[in-house]
Amino acid sequence: MMKRYSIIWIALFTLLTTASVSSAQQGSDDATEKIKAIQIQYLAKKLDLSPEEAQKFWPVYNNYTQEVEQLIAERHQKKELEKLPTANPDDVAKKNMDKELGYEKRMLDIRSRYTTEFQRVLPGRKAGMVFKSEREFRTIMINHLNTQRMNRMGQGGGPKRRP
């Protein structure tokens, strides 16, 4: 178990250090692809998929992630359009709350539909671990990125402390 996490951390560290050296746009695309690859490895290990399960699971999972990414992209695109100045800030705030609730409902609909799909292609125990494993991976990524950012801030221009 500890060996798995070590491998994941090493891969994550390698990914993030090489991504920061890459050029801005291409580096961003490369980093996104590398993160997806690491996430796939993480999910495959956490779910302990047999070859038959993997063959059925990955197309369903890819469809799920595509729908989620489309919803997120739509959300970001509309947020950019909303930054234009308008007359009444209270009306804008109310409209934004309604839109946010709509996005949350749509996300719940996607997750509910794919819960059924995952149960159709995986045993119940493994299907129940898909969303949990995704959350764990995101938590690991966020913690690592925060640690990396704090390390960079500590190395930058602040006063040096002597031991």
Contacts 24+ apart (CB under 8 A), 125-129: 126/47, 126/48, 126/49, 126/53, 129/46, 129/47
Does residue 67 surpass a pLDDT of 50? yes
What pLDDT, on the 0 to 100 scale, is given for residue 27?
A: 61
Percent of the chain with pLDDT over 70: 72
CA gap 36, 31 in Å, rounded: 8
| Residues 9-19 as b or e (16 or more Cβ within 10 Å = b) | eeebeebbeeb
Residue 135's CB: how many other CB atoms inside 10 A? 10
What pLDDT, on the 0 to 100 scale, is given for residue 32?
A: 85
